[in-house]
Amino acid sequence: MDEQSGLPFVIEVSGEVVGQLNVANMLYGSVSSAVLGYWVVPEVAGRGIVPTAVALASDYLFNIVGMHRIEIDIRPENKPSLRVVEKLGFRYEGLKQGYIHINGAWRDHYVFSLTHEEVPDGVLNRWLRRQVPQLKYPWND
């Protein structure tokens, strides 16, 4: 495999592009990790499209690319994206203060992750079979 540091994916519904999923900061060897980010147009939000895309991309990264760990970073006020990681059972790991410069300011992000060992039957299968563990998240306190 070529040493790729990222992978872009398009999220499509009924032949129309409705969003994007990007894999970045791909590291191989003893680290074997990647960071996953996504967006979708508001018109299709809440229909299970993003969790499905994230699950499919995660399974691809684990089973085809050979990643060991996937990370997703989300702004604390982004409730729809937080719901995605909750639905799929990504573990909350903490807060990255001033992580990304957005709209003129350094913004905090929650960090979530999964490792391949946590989902031996796949992220998509675990979600569809309703076998996602109920985890503790800061917004559910």
Per-residue pLDDT tens for 20-29?
999 999 999 9
pLDDT category of residue 141 using cuts at 50, 70 and 90: low
Residue 106 located in a structural domain: yes
Spatial neighbors of 125 by CB under 8 A, at least 6 apart, are 131
Residue 2 located in a structural domain: no
What is the rounded distance in angstroms from the CA atom of residue 101 to the CA atom of residue 124?
32
Which two tokens mark 3?
């040493």
Domain encompassing residue 104: 7-140
What pLDDT was estimated at residue 16?
96
60: CATH: 3.40.630.30
> Does 1 score more than 70 pLDDT?
no
Q: How many domains does the chain have?
A: 1
Per-residue pLDDT tens for 28-58?
999 999 999 999 999 998 999 999 999 999 9
Per-residue pLDDT tens for 75-109?
999 999 999 999 999 999 999 999 999 999 999 99
